[in-house]
Amino acid sequence: MRPNGRHTAGASQLPAIRMWVMGLLLLSTVAMNPTAANAAPSQAAATTHVYLLRGVLNIFSLGLDTIGARLEAQGIPVTVANFVSWSSLADEAATAYKAGRLKTIVLVGHSSGATALPDMIAKLNRLGVPVKLAIGLDSVFKTKLSTGAERYINIYIGDGPGEPVKRADGFRGKLDNVDVRGSGVGHISIDKNEAIQRRVIAEIDAAIMRSRAPAMPVAEPGAPRPARAAAAAPARN
C-alpha cells in the first residue's frame, strides 16, 4: 500500500527540518563561544611575529605594551623589548624564519626604537630574511633606509623632535612619511594615543592579509637593482 499524502509530505520535509535545526545549533554555538568566529584571523597570524622596540630608559614607550596586548588578543605573537636588543632580536627572527616557524616579520619602534628599525631591517636583509612591515613612531634622529621592508611607515611630529625618513641608494620597498603635527600628540604620548594605536594595529592586520602573497626578494645593500620590465607596446589599429 502507498502511504497517504499527509505522511508523504511529512517525510519530504524532514531533510529541510534537520538543516534548519543544525543551523540553529551552529548559530547558538558561535554565540556562546565568540572566539570561534575569530579562529580564522588567529590561524592566519600564527606564523607572524611583531617586534616592538621601546625607546631610551625603557619607560617612555609603554604604549607599545598596550599595542602588544591588543595584538596578542588577536592571536598575533609579539615581543616587546628595549631598542638596544634589536641585533639579538634580528638573530632570533632569522633563526625562526629559516626554520619555517616564522613567515611574516613586523617591526614597530618608538623614539630611539624607531631610530633602530633601519639597522634591524638591514641585518635581517643581510641574513636573507624579508621584513613585511615596519612602523616608526617619531624617530628622534635623521634616519635613512638603505635596504627595505616591503612597506615602511614613519609616523612623526613635523614640528617636534621627529624626522622624516629618507631613501638611501639601493632602497627597495614602499616608504610613507606621515606627519601628525597639529593632532595634539607629543613625542612622549604618540605611542599611547588611541588613534595612533588603532592605525598601527590596522596596518599590521593588513600586512598579515598581504602575507599570503609571495614575499619581496631581499637584496644586499649596494646590489644592483633589477631591470624594470619593458612597457607593453601600444596596440595598433
Q: Which residue has the higher pLDDT, 82 or 226?
A: 82
Instruction: Give the pLDDT confidence of 49-64 residue by residue, as tens digits.
Output: 999 999 988 889 999 9
Neighbours of 63 (CB within 10 A): 22
> What are the start-end ranges of the E strands in the chain?
48-54, 78-82, 104-110, 133-137, 143-145, 151-156, 165-167, 174-179
Distance, in Å, from the CA atom of 227 to the CA atom of 88, rounded to the nearest integer, reads 34
Global confidence as pTM? 0.73
Q: What is the pLDDT of residue 57?
A: 83
Confidence of residue 216 (pLDDT cuts 50, 70, 90): low
Give me the pLDDT at residue 163, please.
86
**What single letter denotes the amino acid at residue 201?**
I
Instruction: Tell me the pLDDT tens digit for each residue of 9-40.
Output: 444 444 444 444 344 333 333 333 333 334 34
Please report, for the chain, the start and end positions of each structural domain, with discontinuous segments joined by +.
49-210
At 237 the pLDDT is 36
> What's the pLDDT band for 171 if we cut at 50, 70, 90?
confident
Q: Does the pLDDT at position 222 exceed 90?
A: no
Residue with cell string 616608526? 136
* CATH homologous superfamily, domain 49-210: Alpha/Beta hydrolase fold, catalytic domain (3.40.50.1820)
